[in-house]
Structure 1
Amino acid sequence: MDNGTNTCDNGFSPETITKKKLTAPVIVIVSIVPVVLLALAVAVCIMLISKRRQKDAVSDAGRSHTEEVLLRNMNLEDCKVQLESKQFTYLQLENITNKFTRVIGQGGFGTVYHGYLEGSTEVAVKLLSGWSSQGMKEFLAETQNLRKVHHKNLVSLVGFCNDGEHMALVYEYLPQGSLHDHLRGKIGLTRPLSWRERLQIALEAAQGLDYLHKGCKQSIIHRDVKPSNILLGHHLEAKIADFGLSKAVLSDAQYVSTVALVGTPGYMDPEYHRTLQLSEKSDVYSFGVVLLEIVTGQPPIVQGTGKVHILERVKPMLNRGDIEEIVDRRLRGKCDVNSVWKVLELAMMCTEEYSAQRPTMADAVVHLRESLTLETSCVRGDSVYSERTGISENSDFRDISGTFGPSAR
């Protein structure tokens, strides 16, 4: 029986809704729903993050707090320095290196092994040794800095490995070893480097360092410039390697304060040694020592000489103009004296006591190009060698040597 009543209305018919205002409880419910949903979403995120951290904690077991912080700060994408670089698993590295059979060097943070990629492309695999804090710091420094650089005179990164407790970097392989190998006469090398080859290597190494100092968006100081970190390709093309100790600095900063002294004895800038203030000129000093090695064939410190530095051994001979005693015996009679003197002059400028008196790496590149031009002209017959002394017969020996006399230095 109808009785004129709509049993389906209950006060919420469309007509009623348009006529009545929403009550306070309804407004509260509508306001709370989004807040509850947001809280649930946050709770789910927290739960997922907690599970991820628990998983990471298991893999990080046994590592020091310092190492955990370093790993947490490491962005794996930063390891992909070039578009063609890739990520390898540890099993792939074992296959590439034939289970790490052939050792070809010792890097800043681990051992370097020889390997082959598919297609017989040779590579060098630098494997992080253990989980030492210092090794991890050098690994991170190398990956972070290599992310920023790409130059023909810097070693290229092929890929990386971050597989559980195994971390590694995979580089292009340079078959002629290092400049150190050639200067020290490593077994297996067929002949000593000619003067022209040494000049070309020095020039290309200088170009690589100049790029690090001025060609990057952020200047990079290598901090370990030495012959063993100058690697040589098939045609003796030189490339700077091992960025484990390198330091990125602001482009307008003249010096960088460091808390610890790092580098290789014999190549270390004395000003940096005294003050712990690092600069691009610290690399310049190290490069100057390398130039002296290239000329003399001798290491910076010879065992059994009371640890007399190469600078102290060379200076007296320079002041006497005794180039025959300075030049590597394997080069005597085979190099242009003008070219040699120019390199020695550059080496002495690079190794000045105070960094402000040293040239830039760009200046060094210019000097080395001029030296190479002199040598090339001589080889083409513009000068005649004296086979006995190695001195060009149409050069004024005394005028050149006078540059290094007591009044000049």
Structure 2
Amino acid sequence: MVIGSWWFLLVLGAAAGVRVVRGQGAPDSTGFISIDCGFPEKGSYVDGTTKLTYVSDDGFIDIGANHNISAEFINPGFTKRFLNVRSFPDAARSCYTLGSLAPGSKYLFRATFMYGNYDGLNSPPVFDLYLGVNFWQTMNLTGLGSVEVCLVNTGSGTPFVSGLELRPVKSTLYPQVNTTQGLVLHARRNFGPSEVAVIRYPDDPYDRVWLPWSDPAEWLEVSTAEVVNGVFGSNFEMPSVVMQTAVTARVSKSIEFSWDAEPSHVYPDPGYICMLHFAELQHLNSNASRQFSITINGHVWYSLYRPYSFTSDTVYSKLPQHGSTKYNISIKAAANSTLPPIINAGEVFSVISTANVRTDVQDVSAVMAIKAKYQVKKDWMGDPCVPKALAWNGLTCSYAISSPPRIEAIDVTGNQLSGSIPTGLLKRIQDGTLTLRYGDNPNLCSNDNSCQSIKKRNPMLVASIAVPLVAFVNRRFTYTELKVITNNFRRVLGKGGFGNVYAGLLEDGTHVAVKLLSESSNQGAEEFLTEADTLTNIHHKNIVSLFGYCKDRGCMALVYERMSEGSLEDKLRGKGAGSLTWIQRLRIALESAQGLEYLHTACSPPLVHRDVKAANILLSANLEAKIADFGLLKAFKRDGDTHVSTARLVGTRGYLSPEYVYTR
């Protein structure tokens, strides 16, 4: 049971999944990635044929198990890559992470597979292969293989791989490859070599693998020792050693060959693109001529072609062929041709889409920071959100037609995480575009230096808001500074149970609102400290932001962002310019709900506002809604207790949080 395959794919550098390598100019091995999958950790060796260095895959993937193929299947002619594999029995998707493609460059990927009964089951598996977020092909090891970075378990055996290679090619080569279309190799043949040999690097500088093909019963072999160069501006840069051999028709005046379509569950009617490479290898006298036509499934592809003398040229299809289960190529001599047709090499590719959009790059960076920070290894492989069926466990993703998928929530509850939250994650949490659930991780805090100080604070409240704790350093104002900021408390914006709210202007021109606790306020120092502590430590795009506070000479005040359009109550009562449209009302309701959802579900334990009403929903200049007035906020206890700890029912009747009312 020796099942091995060499296959490659060509893609443009718009997808993700591989290291940035040089893609312009004539390539050499400095841009190559050559991986022996399953080779001993940190090992490397030089391939005896290509002289390329192959390295262990331990630096490119952190899951899987190494195995050797069974001894009875070892052939003395095998390369080392065929002697061992890495298999992935425990994951739905297993991906090699090689970095990022350089935009605008083209790349050749190749994977090798040798089952060799490495698992003793005598049953080759079937699994899917992906390049980043794009399906490539179903790998059925009872036949030929394909190429990909991610191996996806389809329930028909354990995925495995023997080798993985990446090669940059010139951006001008293979013009059918673009940002939305890639090519999967179906067959690549070198016609008529006198010796049975595989041609690859260094004879082919891009390390394409050319397999010999000759049929002595039907074809006559032709060869030359002269160098065969390509025509100026060639899109394929054929190796001279490949073009130095060819076949012509022996008996009839035509060369015939075919291939069968290989449909998959993603591409039931695959499209194929064919490249035929020609060069005249004989010095013809004035009376001799070689001309021929090319047809595919009986349809004329090229009506009259004459190969160039000792110069390679290519006839290729620009659009894929569809609709057949079998494709037949016929190269037939023209009526006035004195010589039979000739062909030197050929390539056939199936066409696949590379148009699937990966998850937003900033979101990927943030979640990768979590994975690296806490050594998460479970099923967090490949793209976090795409494809949907393989989205990472614990993530909530949103999918829009015109933009990349976004990560909306991350749940790392109960993973025994410890240490600090990566700083790259804080911005998304602060602006409210990301929700992080991280309960049952008692040793997790917002940075290494704050872990001890967090434990000394109110454990019930701070545990729920540890993530953004150090995101902002809030300013402590003096009473004298507040008088300057508010122009001696000249302009009153509003009045509430806490006291008056005054308009202010910071030194940098930022408009603020200063809430000053009055002596007659029915709220006291406890409510003041609750609101200050809460707003200092939670940040969401739909919750008002605190810039600082004052506790000086008996003065207590909060300085927070000014919402220029006032409260929702003011708008609904007709105060200020204009009234709210139905769409604006819906958006305000949605944004207010998002702020409450953050308090109720993203914080651990949950926070309940206890006074949600139109007067406590403030509006920005563009009518963005933000929840304010947190003086009556309470937190649910830990240890699974859903009862709110409070001795009295406080807040405005009719506006109390349902969670609070129903559980007290």
- TM-score of the two chains, using structure 1 as the length reference: 0.45
- TM-score of the two chains, using structure 2 as the length reference: 0.28
Look at both structures and tell me which one has the larger radius of gyration over its CA atoms: 2
Q: Is the strand fraction higher in 1 or 2?
A: 2
